[in-house]
Amino acid sequence: MSAFFINPTLQPPKRFDMALFMENTDNLDPLTSEFLRLMPALESSGRYTVLDEDSRPDLLSYRIYGDTQYWWILLLYNQIIDVESLVTGTILLYPSISDLESLYFSLSAKERAST
């Protein structure tokens, strides 16, 4: 029987790394991304009230999604430009991972169809 252990050198895949959604990845311009333009219009799948101990975006992402890589989605979805505004009592809305994936795959299919 093998023992379970955590290997800190392994990193999870970054499925929703912001750079993946930029059309021109040389300059990472969010204004050219159809995904980033449409993502805030997704229906909210829940609400989360910020607690004092988890007011950092990466911790909020972990509490909501179980992964720290979605912090930028939470900020963009809630139109937060200053992380200092994440104070105790702030209510965050968030889209579901399945809705994010559906948007991503529909845009990918649309792009493939147009080429």
pLDDT for 75 equals 94
pLDDT for 28 equals 46
Mean pLDDT, consecutive 10-residue stretches, the chain (115 aa), reads 50 62 53 80 96 87 92 93 91 94 84 72
Q: Which long-range contacts (CB under 8 A, 24 or more apart) does 47-54 make?
A: 47/91, 47/92, 47/93, 47/94, 48/91, 48/92, 48/94, 49/89, 49/90, 49/91, 49/92, 50/86, 50/87, 50/88, 50/89, 50/90, 50/91, 50/92, 51/88, 52/88
Global pTM reads: 0.71
- What are 84's two structure tokens? 């200092």
User: What residue ranges do the domains of the chain occupy?
Assistant: 35-114
CB 51 within 8 A of CB 88: yes
pLDDT for 2 equals 45
Cross-strand bridge partners of residue 48: 92
